[in-house]
Amino acid sequence: LAQKYDPQRERELRAWIEATTGRRIGDSFMDGLKDGVILCELINKLQPGSVQKVNEPIQNWHKLENIGNFLRAITRYGVKPHDIFEANDLFENTNHTQVQSTLIALASQAKTKGNNVGLGVKYAEKQQRRFHPEKLREGRNIIGLQMGTNKFASQQGMTAYGTRRHLYDPKLGTDQPLDQATISLQMGTNKGASQAGMTAPGTKRQIFEPALGMEHCDTLTIGLQMGSNKGASQQGMTVYGLPRQVYDPKYC
């Protein structure tokens, strides 16, 4: 905090305070303000009657009361609370940088109110506009650009949430994607495609390859292991969990 203290700003503040109050601060800028007398006279010059009574700096509580009266007065004058220092920042020399920032904010507020101040910045004036209630209701009928279709904008080509979107880059030489209005073969029955032969999710699907000489499975016939069909029965079947006697004539 001490490194942020600006000596140039101190010289500017000294010149402004001494010119406004007509009093000399002394060699040490902060020590000259520590009793709060010059500060109270400064705010009384900017806004007369801000501090009704300025105590003589006899004891420490007189000085602290003067500083407290000054801080309350500049708050009413318009200085923001986050720009105001604490009384101990000045009285106990704990944060001179914040004291300097408060005095600069006070100078800026004085410049905004029309005083001739050579430092600080002039705050922007509040430009309050009042619209007729009927005019405000008309604004509810206007859809902003971020709310959907407006000025020929639409959601054409958008996919469902969580799904992938096919991107086509002509430089890569890939095939151009299908029209968004066309349902591909993987999406169900379209262009003569159907779901015949599809199994339930999670089950295996029998694949028949003619080149391998595999026998094509008949999906319409119920196997012998599935119950009584074509003279087959469950005769000789054991209770679940018990071993089953298997007979092979090759070994007997």
If you count them, how many residues does the chain have? 252
What percentage of the chain's residues is helix, strand, coil (to nearest 5)? 40, 0, 60
Q: Which two tokens stand for residue 45?
A: 């010059």
Q: What number is the average pLDDT over the span 139-164?
A: 64
Question: Strand, helix or coil at 169?
Answer: coil
- Residues 185-208 have pLDDT tens digits of 555 545 565 666 666 666 665 565
Residue ranges of the domains in the chain?
A: 5-111
d(CA 20, CA 28): 18
pLDDT confidence band for 152 (50 / 70 / 90): low
Task: Spell out the SS3 assignment of 182-248.
Answer: CCCHHHCCCCCCCCCCCCCCCCCCCCCCHHHCCCCCCCCCCCHHHCCCCCCCCCCCCCCCCCCCCCC
CA distance 30 to 99: 9
What is the distance between the alpha carbons of residues 31 and 90, in angstroms, rounded to a whole number? Answer: 9
Largest CA distance in the chain: 130
b/e sequence 5-31, b meaning 16+ C-beta within 10 Å? beeebeebbbebbeebbeeebeeebbe
Provide the mean pLDDT of the chain.
Answer: 77
pLDDT, tens digit, for every residue of 33-74? Answer: 999 999 999 999 999 999 999 999 889 999 999 999 999 999
At residue 122, the pLDDT reads 81
CATH number of this structure's domain 5-111: 1.10.418.10
Contact indicator for 90, 67 with CB cutoff of 8 Å: yes
pLDDT reported for residue 2? 77
The highest-confidence range among 37-41, 56-60, 136-140, 233-237, by mean pLDDT, is 37-41
Average pLDDT score over residue span 17-41 = 93
Look at residue 100 in the predicted model and tell me its pLDDT.
94
What percentage of the chain has pLDDT greater than the value 70? 57
Q: Residue 218 carries which side chain, given as an amino acid letter? A: D
Predicted local distance difference test score (pLDDT) of residue 66: 95
